Amino acid sequence: MSTKRGSDTTFEEDSQPNDEVVPYSDDETEDELEDQEPEVEPVQNRVNREAEERRETFRKDCTWQVKANDRSFHEQPHFMTTKFFCIKESKYANNAIKTYKYNAFTFLPMNLFEQFKRAANFYFLVLLILQAIPQITTLAWYTTLVPLLLVLGITAIKDLVDDVARHKMDNEINNRSCEVIKDGRFKIAKWKEIQVGDVIRLKKNDFVPADILLLSSSEPNSLCYVETAELDGETNLKFKMALEITHQYLQKENSLATFDGFVECEEPNNRLDKFTGTLFWRSTSFSLDADKILLRGCVIRNTEFCHGLVIFAGADSKIMRNSGKTRFKRTKIDYLMNYMVYTIFVVLSLLSAGLAIGHAYWEAQVGNYSWYLYDGEDFTPSYRGFLNFWGYIIVLNTMVPISLYVSVEVIRLGQSYFINWDLQMYYPEKDTPAKARTTTLNEQLGQIHYIFSDKTGTLTQNIMTFKKCCINGQVYGDNRDASQHTHSKIEEVDFSWNIYADGKFEFHDHYLIEQIQSGKEPEVRQFFFLLAACHTVMVDRIDGQLNYQAASPDEGALVSAARNFGFAFLARTQNTITISELGTERTYNVLAILDFNSDRKRMSIIVRTPEGNIRLYCKGADTVIYERLHQMSPIKQETQDALDIFANETLRTLCLCYKEIEEKDYEEWNKKFMAASVASTNRDEALDKVYEEIEKDLILLGATAIEDKLQDGVPETISKLAKADIKIWVLTGDKKETAENIGFACELLTEDTTICYGEDINALLNTRMENQRNRGGVYAKFAPPVHEPFFPSGGNRALIITGSWLNEILLEKKTKTGNILKLKFPRTEEERRIRTQSKRRLEARKEQRQKNFVDLACECSAVICCRVTPKQKAMVVDLVKRYKKAITLAIGDGANDVNMIKTAHIGVGISGQEGMQAVMSSDYSFAQFRYLQRLLLVHGRWSYIRMCKFLRYFFYKNFAFTLVHFWYSFFNGYSAQIAYEDWFITLYNVLYSSLPVLLMGLLDQDVSDKLSLRFPGLYVVGQRDLLFNYKKFFISLLHGILTSMILFFIPLGAYLQTMGQDGEAPSDYQSFAVTIASALVITVNFQIGLDTSYWTFVNAFSIFGSIALYFGIMFDFHSAGIHVLFPSAFQFTGTASNALRQPYIWLTIILTVAVCLLPVVAIRFLSMTIWPSESDKIQKHRKRLKAEEQWKRRQNVFRRGVSSRRSAYAFSHQRGYADLISTGRSIRKKRAPLDAIIADGTAEYRRTVES
């Protein structure tokens, strides 16, 4: 296939994706990727092109200029950009972080502006203005003003509290201190005062405040060890190293103060693993890469101090660039509620229009001819109808009560506090409670379909533990005593005989200790010597204790295990390694270190023993070690059986082997090795080839088994969430073998799972695309869409895909396109048309391909994406949101998870672990993954049920309240006359019916928390939107209409042609209003009693208290005393006392309430008896189900000699420290003279750049 492909080619790519590498960085341009593709062309053309490209790339990419110790340089006019009108600002961001929204001056105007952007708030503001017009209103202005002020005030206070918390968080970070060169000396400065170009000093355990170029450190060759937990959740140390020239010159304060280096580099971007730049200093240029940059958020470890030059500050730093765009999140119920409010607006407008037309007709037929109705205004009937339209908009406005929004906010706030106060989500070891960082998403926790989880630090503890081993065919690690007898329970091995034991190591096989100490089997000692010698771990002593610095936690666990078993790695130099072998120190000459990489999957060391023997020790993945074993190597089968057992127990394994090397063979090989080491081109390939020659005919010693410790309760949590029909996808930057192994460990994958990989998926998608293309004819758009499953029904499938395959499958891989698409300015109209059509076809195919991938992935029970970038994590989440319209939750603990957390509907941060970046960007946070089941299955489900009940009831009670005006209109000439007293309308939603519904929204629960966790299937009602949808809304509307009819027409019928006990007719308007209002308050409060599932004293008190409060306030407002004080505001003087002393009216109220409620009781009884829901069944048998069911781990069926999968090999997915060790750069030594450094410096830099 040609390397230059047109726009209409098929989806096959030029090369297969590499499963071992993380794909191209997020911000890489198409040009950068094209440069990597080989192309056949004449040599001279290539030379000319490369020279031009270098100049062009330098001009295009390296436009960020930094001058050390010169702040005025960065304030020059050509670095200024116009931000707002004529206000200019430097393109270099300062180091202050700003996440808050308001300050003291902007809070009131901005908050009011934001609140009035809500349709409901603006609607009530318009209503308030309309009520100020006397020709329109029949309702007092305060009936709208009081609730509106209450809503605006409560929301403003909540926003203020949230923003104050953001201010505090920002101040805490911005006011951290570090040392900065000012006026020729290091002075203490706050982080927010740091600027680009400053030279700073950091000490051990300090956070790095900005992205800085490492200039020098206290370590040999200015090495600097950093922990990147804030970025990726990994706790193993990584090293950075300064340029040799800055290491030599820039150690002292005065030299740092006079440093005037000039850096040209790439613009700020989100590529954590890439940096390109040049340092110009002392008339020489030095190449800079990512190994010389310390990123903001890292922590300095095991380095007493270091110095750096600030390159990117604040918002320009890579960690901030990776945080993604902050999205305003709203729940599905919010959107649905808005649509229902719009529906109510339409119904309200139609009702008002119909009643206004009725009034115009009535005026024309009756009003104009009734002299006693003349109001002194000669308006036409149509104009009166127009005025009455607005009058009815005001009268019926309580169909959309403003208190709805404030009640929703109060309920959400209360539910958030319940999450914060939940002691079962509190992690005492780190004193970390659960925290709801937002108050607007609680009910969405009860509707999750997909969970996207990080691996390292989220599912796992990122702690590796040596669990078992197989030596010479014998498996060690079970609970055995020194006599080889197995026990169900046995005390830990006592390592007190070993002065180098760290005191933290736990092991229960006493027989292994017996074997080591007795020396009966020399292979056992050889095994642990290999672990102590074959590695790239660095060692130092802190307070007399050995402290290991490993490139990966796996390697650290193996060296620590060897140390505890009596083979302690003590020290190393460039050419030697010192090991304590059961208390005897021996030093070995290191002849070569054959380092690990992701292709080799192994590492070796060649040593010369004190006796003069040469021996090669090797450890690596079983797949590569077995290929290199000697044909006569014993214990192959026994070790393979052990590996199968370890794999079944989801342990990470390495095979260990060795070989004796003759002196002459070594001398011959060493010549090849030295030649490959100095090769100017393809050095890595040459070295790998030489390594292959020596790493053969190996003798197998055995295998190690390391546990990548899961967090407590992870398998149980995943099992319960799966039963709740929640699908879990793991998105990780780790290698495929490790991710797959964790999948088995946490029971996402089982032995019965059929695993599909990238190549399988690619083939399926290509076939589907071809079929869709063949079907896509002229009439394709008119044909109904057909859902074809990718897999046959039945069977348990999982998808494991790498980042490279993900780009391949989703057509995100950036490749060269045809020449037509490369034209920046099409020359003709035809070219422009062809270009546009090609782009459209490509976009359509890409969209279809992505949709097919999502459909395929969602057919799998589990999906694991490994070796993915932060941007790819967010992309996968976005694809599921876009094509499945499903509610998503993302959970992670590092800065590389922030983009994913912000993209998902709900983001959860793991706190109390290592980093806080994920927590700061999350909506909820807690310390352990296992708390997720309680957050979703208990708090989420309860919140969803409570909110749905609240909304259904709220709409019902307001329809019942408001539509009485509608029926009353037929008897008052459609005159917009209200059926209640003004004060009753004002206080109905504020006092008379608010507390019971609020308490139901806060406290109600259909089943207990234990039963919620025991029966995860109860969760599906939220996923399917069963409790609140348009059907439920219209049922509430119908219920409200029927209730309002009963409330109006039964009292009306009772009042017609009646006589009271005192001979007076009680059928005046005011008594009628009191009767309806009393029946309404009793009905709606008793109705909520029927809706309540979980009764407490507070619920009962609120229901009867609301009714009592209504009567108390009504008698107060109808008293003569208050009428004397405010005659215009209180006009129902004596009505309550006169009306309610009539038994006839009490009987009317009781009859009305009974007719409203008895049908509801009957329907509830029938539905629970004939069509009970799952929660009804559990409620009915809750006493029998009280005993808590214990979760049991799934038992794996092990078949000896048959392994359905390969174990994950325990190795870092990056190179170790071998290069540092073999070159001696990590070893403390006397510094060479500066002349010598300058003499070979240029050659060294050239070699570094070329390699």
3-state secondary structure of 23: coil
| Amino acid at site 720 | K
Dmax over Cα atoms in the chain, in whole Å?
A: 131
CA distance 581 to 722: 50
Q: Where are the alpha helices (DSSP H) in 928-981?
A: 931-934, 941-969
What would the two tokens of residue 431 be? 């004193």
Residue 861 main-chain phi, psi, to 5 deg: -75, -25
| Amino acid at site 1242 | T
Answer yes or no: are the C-beta atoms of 1221 and 576 closer than 8 Å.
Answer: no
CA distance 1251 to 1246: 9
CA contacts within 13 A on the Cβ side of 1074: 25
CA distance 331 to 445: 9
CA distance 1085 to 998: 12
Listed residue (333, 279, 314, 329) closest to 91, CA to CA: 314
Four-CA torsion 832, 835, 836, 840, nearest 10 degrees: 170
Listed residue (448, 166, 454) closest to 331, CA to CA: 448
The string of DSSP codes covering 185-240 is EEEEEEGGG--TT-EEEEETTPBP-SEEEEEEESSGGGEEEEE-HHHHS--SEEEE
What would the two tokens of residue 995 be? 């507390």
- Quickly tell me which residue has 């023997």 as its tokens: 613
- Quickly tell me which residue has 């790439």 as its tokens: 266
CA distance 1072 to 1048: 9
Q: Cα dist. 168→161, 188, 717 in Å?
A: 11, 21, 34
CA distance 254 to 251: 9
What would the two tokens of residue 218 be? 């206290």
CA distance 805 to 762: 8
Task: Spell out a b/e string for 99-126, using b for 16 or more CB atoms within 10 Å of the CB, else e.
Answer: ebebeeeeeeeebeeebeeeebbebbee
| Amino acid at site 1003 | L
Residue 812 main-chain phi, psi, to 5 deg: -90, -10
- Quickly tell me which residue has 């062809």 as its tokens: 834
Answer yes or no: are the C-beta atoms of 452 and 900 closer than 8 Å.
Answer: yes
CA distance 451 to 924: 14
CA contacts within 13 A on the Cβ side of 1167: 10
Work out the angle between the directed axes of helices 403-421 and 994-1003 (0-180°, nearest 10). 30
CA distance 524 to 565: 10
Answer yes or no: are the C-beta atoms of 448 and 889 closer than 8 Å.
Answer: yes
What would the two tokens of residue 1170 be? 């004939």
What single DSSP character describes residue 1089? H
β-pairing, 223-227 vs 237-241, is antiparallel
CA distance 537 to 542: 16
Q: Give the active site residue among 26, 232, 454, 982.
A: 454
Listed residue (992, 911, 870, 41) closest to 420, CA to CA: 911
What would the two tokens of residue 1154 be? 């009974």
What single DSSP character describes residue 432? B
CA distance 775 to 786: 11
163 is catalytic: no
Residues involved in catalysis: 454
